[in-house]
């Protein structure tokens, strides 16, 4: 079959399956095959022209990879809706044009370029049909960063890049933000997919303040990027020789470290006697968190093989996300072996912080982002042995309302508490204060910032860095751990005290992962349903108010198309809780947040009893809501599916629940296995695609523990059932 006939046949299939959208995709595919796109790899696109790849082709070309709340982020692959040399080049060339338009008279522009350590190896097997050698296989964030340098220099813009004479380097997002200000750069980028698996990558764009642009500026940037087909570039080695790509001095890095060490030195505590365990989850965090710990003489241990590794090889599910409890399982095992009672973590670009605390019974407790924010805010503002600061606190609308209570009790302080999701809105508050001296009801300077927080494990302490940063959060948590350890307490004890003092708040965040084209349509249908026919009762409670952030009468007209995505938020209020639903701007999932409010009837529980009571209430609401939201698109999911980790696609959850679970019960009853190893081997094969490219058994422990309880009457006498129960527990 000729290339022309293959394209004609695929075009027909695209139109049959996707109607008008299929025509648009076919036109884009033809453009790539023609060789018009920079770095387009037309010979690779030609290999997509088979019937079995039609859905992949449609998804890869149905849109330009969106410019979301955190820049462009998505799967590495071929096509406009993938992260590849073409989309990176168009993004950078568009950024160059945007910078020229914004600085028409400036001829000495510089940018800072950062990147994480990830490397694409197609662990999901999407491109197996291309064989074991194709242009993107093995491409790293470093390679994309060097490509970006070539294009900036080709446009006459000087680049600062970490260690430009080596191929092994990295820089965290917060240090990038800091350096943009210090170097008086016009902006910068970071090549990173943050906490996503290694088959993903992204490009985050920063402005002259070291923050990500908000609407309408991000729209102007996105428009420039979509039109940037004519890419100018200078070979990397030539750019080095010309002095247009330069390294970042060690003195600048030391200044970043000194900022936080100075904060550490303000807190007068005895010399620390115990180490913490810190894991960068195979990312860049040792250059920021690690260096600050060393300079501040805070002792820490690093788990084996968790330094920089672009495959995140030892991280369960290859998901280096501090929000995911399983991600730190190897670090917790290491902490157990060293008799350490705390594990701190950061994601690959080291802007998110994670915290696990060992309890007296030997178990580990995972702190979510809301609890971390509450602990840090209380420590900084209300703790009699803490810094007792007064000033400005900033948070998003889905971050714990405990911060509002803390600020009110401190007095002589302010809080901005209703921002859209994304730390760029926090930075926008600080930028506005610098420019105007006030933001809405708050009049102060950005230097009066005490803390900013978001529920997804983001903390900001200093306004010199207009991004979240795991470093100060890890530092303060390590300091608090040392103090509490001497008192015979844990950070969980500390949080329980807060809960008793501040009220019965609880927060649960869940994600409904929905990949591919069908996932996008489902997300859209759920949001449309919530708007078109708002529920009168939700998760068993009467709805009192529905707030739609797309309502231009209430929240003002959209200032650009880019304003629509972050405002695609529906908030539903009852007397007992507030639910907020929004599609992610950077990942294929619908996120929802349940904020439990203190009840009209006070609880008589205390300590862990109170925490468990609140957690059970909030979780029960979240479980009901998960199922009710999916029911809006005709998807039915039960308790077993709901207990699987949220990083698993909902269709895979349904297959596990509807097919694998009945098989497991039948085989246990039929005595198909004589040993637990046999059962594990069968399960591994059954769920091999649950989280593609990883060992999925760990994801089954919680649902299998639930099933063991459900099946205890009929299977309780079977020896293998007892072994399975012990494994799951």
Q: Do 631 and 555 share a domain, yes or no?
A: yes
Q: Do 231 and 325 share a domain, yes or no?
A: no
**Residue 417 domain-assigned?**
yes
**Residue 207 domain-assigned?**
yes
Q: Do 479 and 570 share a domain, yes or no?
A: no
Q: Which residue, 502, 519, 540, sits at the end of a domain?
A: 502
The enclosing domain of 514 has a CATH number of: 3.30.310.50
The helix (run of H) or strand (run of E) holding residue 622 is helix 607-631
Q: CA-to-CA distance for 276 and 483, rounded, in angstroms?
A: 12
**pLDDT value of residue 729:** 80
CA distance from start to end of the chain? 57
Helices 491-502 and 607-631 cross at an angle (nearest 10°) of: 80
Q: Do 230 and 272 share a domain, yes or no?
A: no
Number of H helices, E strands in the chain: 26, 25
Tokens for 232? 């100018």
Q: Do 455 and 599 share a domain, yes or no?
A: no
Across the beta sheet with 158-160, the strand order is: 67-68, 71-75, 200-206, 187-191, 110-115, 158-160, 245-246
**pLDDT value of residue 692:** 77
**Residue 544 domain-assigned?**
yes
**Residue 119 domain-assigned?**
yes
Q: CA-to-CA distance for 260 and 308, rounded, in angstroms?
A: 23
Q: Do 615 and 709 share a domain, yes or no?
A: no
CB-based burial of residue 378 (10 Å sphere; 0-12 exposed, 13-18 middle, 19+ buried)?
buried
**Residue 5 domain-assigned?**
no
**Structural domain boundaries, residue 565:** 506-636
**pLDDT value of residue 70:** 64
DSSP 53-100: GHHHHHHHHSS---EEBTEEEEEBSSSTTSBSHHHHHHHHHHHHHHHH
Q: CA-to-CA distance for 453 and 31, rounded, in angstroms?
A: 44
Q: Do 220 and 95 share a domain, yes or no?
A: yes
The ranges of the chain with pLDDT < 50 are 1
**pLDDT value of residue 600:** 60
Cis peptide upstream of residue 216 (ω within 30 degrees of 0):
yes
Tokens for 627? 């199922």
Q: CA-to-CA distance for 176 and 350, rounded, in angstroms?
A: 11
**pLDDT value of residue 532:** 94
Sign of CA dihedral 69, 73, 75, 79: positive
**Residue 471 domain-assigned?**
yes
How many separate domains does the chain show? 4
Tokens for 519? 């996932």
Q: Which residue, 446, 479, 502, sits at the end of a domain?
A: 502
Residues in the chain: 729
Q: Supply φ then ψ for residue 395, to 5 degrees.
A: -155, 165
Q: Do 356 and 476 share a domain, yes or no?
A: yes
Q: How far is CA 236 from CA 113, 149, 241, in A?
A: 14, 7, 9
**pLDDT value of residue 518:** 87
Could you give the residue ranges of the DSSP H alpha helices within 191-323?
217-226, 236-241, 250-265, 289-295
**Residue 12 domain-assigned?**
no
**pLDDT value of residue 605:** 86
Q: Do 512 and 490 share a domain, yes or no?
A: no
User: Tens of pLDDT along 16-67?
Assistant: 999 989 999 999 999 999 988 999 999 999 999 999 999 999 999 999 888 8
**pLDDT value of residue 601:** 65
What's the whole-model pTM score? 0.93
**pLDDT value of residue 69:** 66
Q: Do 453 and 439 share a domain, yes or no?
A: yes
Q: Do 205 and 271 share a domain, yes or no?
A: no
**Residue 19 domain-assigned?**
no
Q: Which residue, 476, 502, 528, sits at the end of a domain?
A: 502
Q: Do 303 and 381 share a domain, yes or no?
A: yes
């Amino acid at each position: 079959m000729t290339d022309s006939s293959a394209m004609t046949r695929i075009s027909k299939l695209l139109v049959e399956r996707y109607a008008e959208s299929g025509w648009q995709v076919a036109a884009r595919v033809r453009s790539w095959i023609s060789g018009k796109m920079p770095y387009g790899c037309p010979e690779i696109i030609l290999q997509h022209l088979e019937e079995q790849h039609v859905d992949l082709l449609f998804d890869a070309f149905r849109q330009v990879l969106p410019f979301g709340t955190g820049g462009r982020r998505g799967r590495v692959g071929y096509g406009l809706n993938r992260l590849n040399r073409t989309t990176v080049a168009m993004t950078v060339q568009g950024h160059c044009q945007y910078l020229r338009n914004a600085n028409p008279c400036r001829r000495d522009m510089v940018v800072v370029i950062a990147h994480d350590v990830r490397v694409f190896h197609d662990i999901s097997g999407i491109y197996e049909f291309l064989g074991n050698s194709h242009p993107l296989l093995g491409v790293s964030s470093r390679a994309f960063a060097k490509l970006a340098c070539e294009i900036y220099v080709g446009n006459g813009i000087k680049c600062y890049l970490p260690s430009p004479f080596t191929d092994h380097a990295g820089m965290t997002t917060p240090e990038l933000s800091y350096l943009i200000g210090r170097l008086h750069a016009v902006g910068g980028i970071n090549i990173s997919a943050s906490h996503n698996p290694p088959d993903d990558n992204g490009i985050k764009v920063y402005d002259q303040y070291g923050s990500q642009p908000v609407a309408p500026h991000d729209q102007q940037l996105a428009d420039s990027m979509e039109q940037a087909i004519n890419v100018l570039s200078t070979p990397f080695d030539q750019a080095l020789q010309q002095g247009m790509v330069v390294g970042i001095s060690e003195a600048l890095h030391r200044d970043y470290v000194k900022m936080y060490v100075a904060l550490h030195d303000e807190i007068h505590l005895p010399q620390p006697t115990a180490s913490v365990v810190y894991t960068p989850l195979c990312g860049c965090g040792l250059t920021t968190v690690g260096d600050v710990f060393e300079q501040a003489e805070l002792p820490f241990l690093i788990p084996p093989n968790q330094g920089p590794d672009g495959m995140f090889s030892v991280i369960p599910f290859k998901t280096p996300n501090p929000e995911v409890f399983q991600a730190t399982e190897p670090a917790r095992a290491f902490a157990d072996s060293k008799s350490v009672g705390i594990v701190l973590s950061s994601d690959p670009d080291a802007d998110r912080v994670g915290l696990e605390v060992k309890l007296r019974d030997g178990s580990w407790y995972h702190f979510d982002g809301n609890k971390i924010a509450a602990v840090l805010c209380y420590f900084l503002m209300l703790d009699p042995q803490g810094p007792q600061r007064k000033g400005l606190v900033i948070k998003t609308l889905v971050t714990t309302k405990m911060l509002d209570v803390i600020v009110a009790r401190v007095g002589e302080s302010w809080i901005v508490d209703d921002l859209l999701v994304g730390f760029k809105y926090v930075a926008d508050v600080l930028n506005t204060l610098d420019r105007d001296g006030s933001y809405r009801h708050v009049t102060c300077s950005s230097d009066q910032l005490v803390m900013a927080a978001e529920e997804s494990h983001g903390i900001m302490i200093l306004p010199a860095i207009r991004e979240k940063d795991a470093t100060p959060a890890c530092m303060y948590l390590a300091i608090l751990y040392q103090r509490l350890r001497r008192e015979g307490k844990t950070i969980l004890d500390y949080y329980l005290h807060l809960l008793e003092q501040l009220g019965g708040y609880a927060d649960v965040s869940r994600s409904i992962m929905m990949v591919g084209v069908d996932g996008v349509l489902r997300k859209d249908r759920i949001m449309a349903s919530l708007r078109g026919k708002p529920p009168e009762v939700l998760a068993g409670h009467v709805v009192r108010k529905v707030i739609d952030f797309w309502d231009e009468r209430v929240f003002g007209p959209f200032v650009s198309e880019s304003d629509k995505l972050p405002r695609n938020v529906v908030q539903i209020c009852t007397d007992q809780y507030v639910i907020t639903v929004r599609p992610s701007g950077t990942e294929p999932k619908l996120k929802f947040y349940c904020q439990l409010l203190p009840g009209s009837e006070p609880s008589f529980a205390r300590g862990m009893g109170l925490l468990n009571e609140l957690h059970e209430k909030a979780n029960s609401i979240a479980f009901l809501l998960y199922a009710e939201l999916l029911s809006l698109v005709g998807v039915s999911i039960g308790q077993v599916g709901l207990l699987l980790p949220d990083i698993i696609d909902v269709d895979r959850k349904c297959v596990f629940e509807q097919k694998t679970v009945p098989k497991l019960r039948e085989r246990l009853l039929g005595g198909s296995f004589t040993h637990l190893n046999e059962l594990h081997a069968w399960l591994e094969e059954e769920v091999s695609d649950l989280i593609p490219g990883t060992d999925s058994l760990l994801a089954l422990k919680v649902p299998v523990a639930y099933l063991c309880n459900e099946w205890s009457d009929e299977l309780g006498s079977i020896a293998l059932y007892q072994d399975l129960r012990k494994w799951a527990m």
